Amino acid sequence: MKAIVLVGGMGTRLRPLTWDTPKQMLPLVGTPIIEYVLSALGQQGVTDAVLSLGYLPDRFIEAYPDNVIAGVRVSYAVESEPLGTAGAIRFAAERAKIDETFLVFNGDVLSDLDLGRLLNFHRERRAAASISLHAVEDPSRFGVVPTMPDGQVVAFVEKPAREEAPTNLINAGAYLFEPSVLSRIESGRAVSVERETFPSLAREGALFALADSGYWLDTGTPATFLEATLDVLEGRNGHRGPRPTSIENGSWRHPSAFVSADAVLEHAVVDRDCVVAAHAELHGVILMPGSVVEAGARLNGAIVGPGAVIGAGARLEATCVVGPGERVEAGALLLGS
Ligand code: GDD
Ligand code: MG
């Protein structure tokens, strides 16, 4: 079965990290997010995926010149302008000549969803499309999906106000589609699967949804990207992603990084060519490749972009994001948002 993986969004909530790196190519404990996503699919028998690209497509294509990511064969469908989530699905399916039941994934989500269970459900219900659901505390950042007891979707409400959300079960960004759905997606303009296609399928009673209680996380904000990092460091991210080696005492460092013996690391990622000087303290911190933390700086819940420098004695609190190549002055105090 073929899978379409949507990775064409602009990653606005992760700016400035995403100005020149697409969200799904950001390193999660040293490995791009997309490799976690495709590894999980490959382990469940998906052999071929179409990456649906739009924003900075070359960053993917150059990183994987052999067209293999985490053991899955990939092809690329590059949009010349953003087609929205449904337009992207139609475009990618046409490119890959998909003519049977297929999978669709939001490429910024880590999960250990059981695909076989979703497929059985989809076939038993003879659904036109089926959605995997996940229960969350605050559904307002997601697509909210109330269903009948048999899983038939009653409505699809994208990002409602918190008090208006009819349930805490949200769209987990993993779908099964029949190819018949493609022809109802208008071509030549941006179409949203969440705001157009799903609501209209729901009205016809052709959309079904099934809750999955496994690991699930959308990595698309600074706070959840940090959360994903801590989950990987602690081995909490389900059982299907890549397992970074050499995690020690809950932290990971690339072999080329220099960490002073007098520095303190607690749940920290210190990537390629980073330098952490004496008496620096990192608690729940991501240092992207080539970044430097000078002596005595204290970081708590921060993401430091590639090549950035944190000056001596500076203090950064959650959730600070320092852009690629930026410099935080010595002694500065930054309180995050
Ligand atoms: N190719 C392409 N073209 N991809 C796109 C486009 C586009 O125009 N727009 C967004 N994407 C990709 C993004 O790169 C991302 O991988 C995925 O589609 C979802 O977009 P996000 O921007 O991350 O959406 P979201 O997180 O706010 O909400 C979506 O995901 C939630 C679950 O994580 C929605 O599908 C919600 O309903 C859902 O609950
Ligand atoms: Mg997202």
Coil vs helix vs strand at 331: coil
Q: Let me know whether 138 and 281 are in one domain.
A: no
- Both tokens of 93, joined, read 């399916």
pLDDT band for position 73 (cuts 50, 70, 90): very high
- Both tokens of 276, joined, read 């952490």
What is the reported pLDDT for 11? Answer: 96
In a domain, 226, yes or no: no
Nearest residue (by CA) to ligand 1, atom 2, is 8
What is the reported pLDDT for 148? Answer: 97
* Mean of per-residue pLDDT scores for the chain: 96
Q: Let me know whether 217 and 251 are in one domain.
A: no
User: Could you tell me which residues are beta bridge partners of residue 95?
Assistant: none
Specify the long-range contacts of residues 146-150, CB closer than 8 Å, at least 24 apart: 147/208, 147/209, 150/125, 150/208
DSSP state letters, 263-276: -EEEEEEE-TT-EE
What separation in angstroms does the CA of 181 have from each of 2, 4, 220, 275? 16, 14, 27, 51
Domain boundaries, position 208: 2-221
Of 168, 189, 221, which residue sits at a domain end? 221
Q: Let me know whether 328 and 255 are in one domain.
A: yes
What is the reported pLDDT for 337? Answer: 80
How many percent of the chain have pLDDT more than 70?
Answer: 100
What is the reported pLDDT for 165? Answer: 87
Residues with CB under 6 A from ligand 1: 6-9, 52, 54, 79, 82-85, 88, 106-109, 142-143, 158, 170-171, 173, 194, 218, 220
In a domain, 228, yes or no: no
In a domain, 231, yes or no: no
Distance 167 CA to ligand 2 centre (A): 19
The Cα–Cα gap between 294 and 313 comes to 7
Residue 54 burial by CB count (10 A; 0-12/13-18/19+): exposed, middle or buried? buried
In a domain, 294, yes or no: yes
Q: Let me know whether 122 and 12 are in one domain.
A: yes
How many percent of the chain have pLDDT more than 90?
Answer: 93
Taking only the tens place, the pLDDT of each residue in 283-305 is 999 999 999 999 999 999 999 99
In a domain, 75, yes or no: yes
In the predicted model, what is the mean pLDDT of residues 58-78? 97
What is the reported pLDDT for 121? Answer: 98
Of 221, 254, 279, which residue sits at a domain end? 221
Q: Let me know whether 212 and 263 are in one domain.
A: no
Report the alpha-carbon angle 284-289-290, nearest 5.
Answer: 110
CATH at residue 131: 3.90.550.10
Q: Let me know whether 270 and 144 are in one domain.
A: no
What is the reported pLDDT for 213? Answer: 94
Nearest residue (by CA) to ligand 1, atom 19, is 106
Ligand nearest to the CA of 11: 1
Nearest Cα neighbor of 319 from 238, 230, 233, 237 is 230
Our mutation pick for probing the ligand 1 site, out of 13, 85, 95, 153, counting the most ligand atoms within 8 A of Cβ, is 85
Our mutation pick for probing the ligand 1 site, out of 106, 110, 111, 169, counting the most ligand atoms within 8 A of Cβ, is 106
Do 136 and 100 contact (CB within 8 A), yes or no?
no
In the predicted model, what is the mean pLDDT of residues 207-227? 97
pLDDT band for position 242 (cuts 50, 70, 90): confident
User: Could you tell me which residues are beta bridge partners of residue 135?
Assistant: 169
Q: Let me know whether 212 and 251 are in one domain.
A: no
CATH at residue 299: 2.160.10.10
In a domain, 233, yes or no: no
* CA 187 to centroid of chain Cα atoms: 26
Q: What is the CA radius of gyration of the chain?
A: 21
What is the reported pLDDT for 23? Answer: 98
Distance 158 CA to ligand 1 centre (A): 11
For residue 82, is the peptide bond before it cis, meaning its omega torsion is within 30 degrees of 0? no
241, pLDDT greater than 80:
no
Q: Which atom of ligand 1 is nearest to the CA of 107?
A: 16
What is the reported pLDDT for 217? Answer: 97
Q: Which residue has the tokens 């059982």?
A: 239
69, pLDDT greater than 90:
yes
In a domain, 205, yes or no: yes
In the predicted model, what is the mean pLDDT of residues 49-56? 97
Distance 240 CA to ligand 2 centre (A): 19
Taking only the tens place, the pLDDT of each residue in 161-174 is 989 989 999 999 99
pLDDT band for position 243 (cuts 50, 70, 90): confident
Nearest residue (by CA) to ligand 1, atom 39, is 142
Could you tell me the pTM of the whole model?
A: 0.96
239, pLDDT greater than 80:
no
Report the domain count for the chain.
2
Q: Let me know whether 276 and 152 are in one domain.
A: no
Q: Let me know whether 124 and 192 are in one domain.
A: yes
Coil vs helix vs strand at 241: coil
Q: Which atom of ligand 1 is nearest to the CA of 218?
A: 33
Q: Let me know whether 105 and 63 are in one domain.
A: yes
The Cα–Cα gap between 37 and 11 comes to 16
Residue at 209: amino acid letter: A
Q: Let me know whether 38 and 89 are in one domain.
A: yes
Taking only the tens place, the pLDDT of each residue in 104-161 is 999 999 999 999 999 999 999 999 999 999 999 999 999 999 999 999 999 999 999 9
Of 170, 188, 221, which residue sits at a domain end? 221
In a domain, 227, yes or no: no
Do 62 and 46 contact (CB within 8 A), yes or no?
no
